[in-house]
Amino acid sequence: MADDKTLKTMGTIHSEVMGRDAVHIAVVQIVAPRVLYSGAHVGPSGESAYTTITVGIVDPYLTEPVQPGGKCWLFLYPGSITSLRHEWTHPAFGAEERKGPLSEDAISQSKRWIEDYALASDKTYNAMMRAAKLWQESEDYTYDNTEAYKEGSYYEKLEEFWHHYEIVTGTRVDSKNSFFTCSC
């Protein structure tokens, strides 16, 4: 997995030996508003640097120009995305809504994941979901003086919890913070 040094040196001339690494690059499909050439720096909708701030480059692996109306990948600049889980966020792009209903199997798998997550934090599924719902509705913490939620992987897997919560509830979550606290 790429370290910060690799991402920070992408797009620069290197002053030291770097060796090898592998990186994740966020991509989004765009529709060409005009002829686009491989490696061109463009904005979120494929417009040129003359009309907007650039956010990435046209697929550098293309062997021919993309004609107006054609579709291609826009490779976002390294280090510009604000989250990564093979579903990324970037300030220049809105949140993509879910396309159609999820299968019952996907919902069941997410429910099982939350059950295991709750158990590892010494909670029940229902208690975990109630606390998360309360946080989403009012950003009110659920008090838990046992502090069991501080042990194990509660914080490490919090972002993944919110992903499964969205699947189970069918809602989009904006505030993905912790929702348990102690009263001490």
The DSSP string of 93-110 is: BPPPPP-SPPPHHHHHHH
Residues 66 and 135 in one domain: no
Total tally of structural domains belonging to the chain: 2
pLDDT of residue 64: 94
Convert the pLDDT of each residue in 27-56 to its tens digit.
Answer: 888 888 889 999 999 887 666 544 567 889
Residues 45 and 64 in one domain: yes
Check if the beta carbon of residue 115 is closer than 8 Å to that of residue 125.
yes
**Considering 96, 122, 156, which residue would you say is the last residue of a domain?**
96
- Token pair of 183 as six digits: 């009263």
Residues 2 and 81 in one domain: yes
Parent domain of 44: 1-96
Residues 77 and 1 in one domain: yes
Mean pLDDT of residues grouped by 10 in the chain (184 residues)? 69 81 83 90 68 81 92 87 66 57 75 86 84 78 62 69 83 72 64
Q: pTM to 2 decimals?
A: 0.47
Residues 116 and 162 in one domain: yes
Residues 7 and 86 in one domain: yes
Check if the beta carbon of residue 38 is closer than 8 Å to that of residue 19.
no
Q: 30-45 as b/e, with b when 16 or more CB fall inside 10 Å?
A: bebeeebeeebebbbe
Sort 5 into a burial class: Cβ within 10 Å, 0-12 / 13-18 / 19+.
exposed
* 105 contacts: CB under 8 Å, gap ≥ 6: none
Residues 15 and 47 in one domain: yes
**Considering 61, 96, 131, which residue would you say is the last residue of a domain?**
96
Check if the beta carbon of residue 182 is closer than 8 Å to that of residue 145.
yes
pLDDT of residue 160: 82
pLDDT of residue 50: 46
Residues 160 and 83 in one domain: no
- Token pair of 16 as six digits: 């030291």
Residues 91 and 114 in one domain: no
From residue 14, give the alpha-carbon distance in Å to each of 10, 17, 19, 39: 9, 7, 11, 20
Distance between first and last Cα of the chain: 39
**Considering 74, 96, 118, which residue would you say is the last residue of a domain?**
96
Task: Tell me, rounded to whole angstroms, the distance of Cα 170 from its chain centroid.
Answer: 17
Residues 43 and 121 in one domain: no
Residues 146 and 175 in one domain: yes
Residues 7 and 88 in one domain: yes
